[in-house]
Homo-oligomer: A and B are copies of this chain.
């Protein structure tokens, strides 16, 4: 048995089992960076394992753009939907729920239980819609810090996440330098490139030009589903890689014969994309998509300043992992981040993994990633 087999085996070790989400509500006015305010907010989260007496064994997991709080175990005895990072989180796994207390919260601005643009404003009893304040990653992290307060945790053992989740770990390290020992940022970077902003803006326009968007004022179940679906189809391509898609689909036709109607689905890859678009609209809200992508586009770890000024604020040590086939958050951006941190005298490490799955690589089973995270969490 080689190393890789031995680790693959471990991946299927202990399971968290059936989990229930919880709702944490902060019942005081909450200020956004933009100056906006909401009278209260809720974060939906899941937690696994036990907080020890010293309260120093907690790990916070930050999800990606369209992710949620359900990252491990199964959500329901009937539905039995597995968490999005199930292979990574559980007893004996890298994020080890037998020794750590693990929290994963849906972000502020989200739409899967946490307060976001389509939540009811208690002051008006109507949804916020576009009256929801302008949102930043700083706001999301500040809201999460209230949840951490609620548990009485002074300092997190680690904050970890991929993509937007990776950027949130950086925001944590910058905004709450005394409240985490380490961060692990996967497939992220210090800021979006022009290309990534361009894709996000095209997705937002697909939503906002759908007549059913109606300036954000749509009822639940009557939103801009076509526009959101187009945005998702496009974004989904950017999460994968040319070689990954080629290996999975190539030019395989959906049926043995050519489509009969002019513009019927013809290739397998088209069918797959249609499915991605369709299933997305049943679980994600268009206004949340607008707010979260804008927050991401605006994120600039250095705030337009000399990297040293920002890096100097950081006390935690960090591991940054880039993936060679990730063209949305390319390795250069991940690598450059660590280079800057090191130049500023901060403890940080960079690893680049070779995987064919594009940006989504961080969500895929990989013995290398598994081992890296396991080890770094126990330094």
Contact = CB atoms under 8 A, between A and B. Distances in A.
Interface of A: 130, 134, 191-195, 197-199, 201-202, 204-206, 208-209, 211, 226-227, 229-230, 233-234, 237, 240-242, 245-246, 248-251, 262-263, 265-267, 269-270, 273-274, 277, 290-291, 294, 297-298, 300, 327, 330
Contacts of A249: 194
Contacts of A227: 209
B251 A300 contact: yes
Give the residue among A134, A199, A205, A241 with the most B Cβ atoms within 10 A. A205
B198 A245 contact: yes
11 contacts: A193-B242, A195-B241, A195-B245, A197-B251, A198-B237, A198-B245, A202-B230, A209-B227, A242-B327, A263-B294, A327-B327
B297 A195 contact: no
- Say what secondary structure dominates the interface of chain A: helix
A234 B194 contact: no
A270 to B, nearest CB: 4
A330 to B, nearest CB: 7
Q: How many copies does the complex hold?
A: 2
A239 to B, nearest CB: 11
B202 A242 contact: no
Contacts of A194: 242, 245-246, 248-251, 267, 269
A274 B193 CA distance: 17
A241 B194 CA distance: 10
A249 B249 CA distance: 34
B251 A192 contact: yes
A368 B98 CA distance: 62
Contact of A273 (B198, B211, B269, B298): B198
Give the residue among A192, A241, A265, A267 with the most B Cβ atoms within 10 A. A267
